[in-house]
Structures are given as structure tokens and as C-alpha cells.
Structure 1
Amino acid sequence: MKKLSLYLLSIILLWGCAQGQPENHSFAKLPEPKTGEKVATFAGGCFWAMSEAMSELKGVNKVVAGYAGGIVKNPTYERVCEKNTGHAESVQIYYNPSVISYAQLVEAFFYAHDPTTLNRQGPDEGDDYRSAIFYRTPEEKATIDAVMKKVAATHHYNNPIVTEVTAYKALYPAEVYHQGYYKTHPGSAYIQSVSEPKVMKMRHAVPQLLKPEFAK
């Protein structure tokens, strides 16, 4: 059984997030917020799962997968996977603050991945898969700190939260084929084995924050 488990893990690693086959190398566009919209930026492992999880929240109008937190401008997926850009796979969330608050987004984020593993999410390892929140204002920083304490107090996680909290500088949109990858590749072994459990975990943790079609 142990040999079988190791074999299955090797298959997941081989076809994991860093091994996605490109279908369109052009880059997605980063839209300007619409009137009344606000923007939040998170990193929590492979952006295929995080994009889907955040898009399922009520009040979220759009999610763009991209790269943030690094030192290289306009990086490619292949360059980020080399683990020398400092970037993390990230998501930029466009949301309606009258429907969902920044605090609620942060709370959902903490349940959409494991914020206690340093530079790793499941089979994905490296600083490009780190847990991070990029705040834009001192008020957002205070909100993050408060929500982090709230989540820690629930003892949902056995280990301390190690999420990086840092000021937002830029997000570079990822290639088009990464956008909505979860929905367009439901048969992928990686999506089924790694991404879907993360999305389901968030659904179970914060059902009150989901759009009606996902709150089942």
C-alpha cells in the first residue's frame, strides 16, 4: 500500500500545477476596478484552486490569476517555476464591498488552503507556492492581523499560521490558459486530486459566504 501511495503521489507531482500544458501563451489583461469595486490580492498555492475558490464567493465579480511578490517584471509561468523570481502564484479579486467585506474575503482565503505550511501546498513546493496576503492600506493590514488571530483561535489548524503579510506592489497577469483552469479542465488528475479538495474545504468552512449555486 505504501508503494502504491508513493506511486500515486509521483503521478500527481508529475502532472501538478507546475506541469500544466500551455494552450495560449498570451497574457491575460488586468482590468481596472469598476465603480464601487475594490481589489484584493492573495497567494495560496497553485492559483488554479485559489481562483476557483475565490470566484465562488458572493460579491466577487472577477478573479485574475497572476504573479505577485517578486522582483521580476512581466514574468512567464516557466520563469516563475524556475523559482528565482520571488513571485508567488497569486489571485487578484475584484469584489463588491457592499456584498462581501475584506475581512470575509481574508477569512475565506485562510480556509481555501493550508496557511500553516511554509512554501508548500500539498505536492507543490517552493516560494512560488507560499501563502501570502498583499495589503494595500494600513486598515487592510489591521484586518488581516485580526482575522488571522480569529482563525488561529478556532484551532481549525493544529500548527501556527505562517502566511506572509506584505504591502502590495504589483500583480502581473498570468497566461490566458491559466484563467479559469479549474472549470476548463475538470478531468485533470491534478484538479481532481489537489485542487478540488481545497475548494471543497473552503465551501464547508464558510458556506454563508458562497454564491447560491455553490451553497449546497
Structure 2
Amino acid sequence: MIMKRLSLLLLALCVMGGAANAQKKPFRDGDVFSKGDVVLNLGIGLGNMVYNDSYTKKVPPISLSGEYAVTGNLFNNGRGVVGLGAYIGYTGAKYRAFDNLDAGWNFNNLILGVRGALHYQFVNRLDTYLGLFLGYNITMTNDYGSFPSGLRPSAPAVGGFEFAFYVGARYYLTQRFAVFGEVGYGLATVNLGLAYKF
């Protein structure tokens, strides 16, 4: 259900980006992210940092985040912006408790948090930033298979508070539609996706 909704949102972003591209407005310095702008990011993670190699059937981290440009015109050239926003992410995996028995646990993780970033535009169309994320990993666990009588180990502990630094960049294909990449985030080593500016 979550995947279906995120797919529909991705489709809507593509349609909006196409409409913005049809207007063919020229880019100007400072247009990528300015005070009062709101940007919505939809991404997929590469390299699951929540689950290591002992887990199987890992779901790639999927994230949706929004960011509001709180202040702008920082530094002498006015190219600095501070953004604040909310984050929601999802990932999951399967853990097999025994090598020779198909029994264990299914994990589903919902990560909720806030993040703040300092943006700086070095070149036209490119919004580069570094930021801080603070959130909580809500873990839902359920058993699968049949455990031997009297032999039921405890499920691995997953979840809790999340804290991470990240760096990223958005490249605007149109005035509103962009592709983005982030490195060093809490759910995945690399996060790639699409962004839309309102």
C-alpha cells in the first residue's frame, strides 16, 4: 500500500515537472532555493544502513521529505539559505533465526523526524547543502514460521532514536522540477530521487 501511494506521488511529480518545463522560464541566480520556497523530495536509498548482511529480503529505504526555506540572503553574496522540514521513511527486512529452519521475524520500520540544512548555490541550477537529521525509528515485528518447542530466541533489537549528518545537491531541470542525491543519511548510504518546488 505504501509503495502504491509513493508511486502515485512520483507520477504526480513527473506530471507537474513536465508542466513546468513547458513554460520554459529562464533560470536566474538565486532561483534554486530562496526564502519562502517549499520543496518536496521523494527518494530511494542505496545501501541499507538499518539492516546488515544477516538480514534477507531487505526493502530499499523509501523516503518523503519536505523543506521550507526559513531564511535567505546569507553571506556577503546572498547565496546562503537555511531550510527546515519534516521527514518520513520506510524500510523493512526478514531475519531467519536458524540456519536449518525457516522461522524468524519480519521487520517493518517507519522513521519519522525533522531535519535542517544550510544551502549554498555555487553554480546555476545547482542547490548544494549540508544538514542534520533527528528522528525516531518505529519498529514493527512479527514472527514467521514455527519455532521448535522450548527454543525461541529473542528478536534482534532494531529501532530507537536516529541522528545523522548528510550532504546533498538538487539539480533543477526546470524552474520547479529537480533530481537530487544525498550521502551520509541515517537510513541509506546514498539517497537518490526527484524533487518538486512549490
Structure holding more strand per residue:
2
Could you tell me the TM-score, scaled by structure 1's length?
0.28
When you count helix as a share of all residues, which structure comes out higher? 1
Q: Which has the higher contact order (CA 8 A, sep 6+)?
A: 1
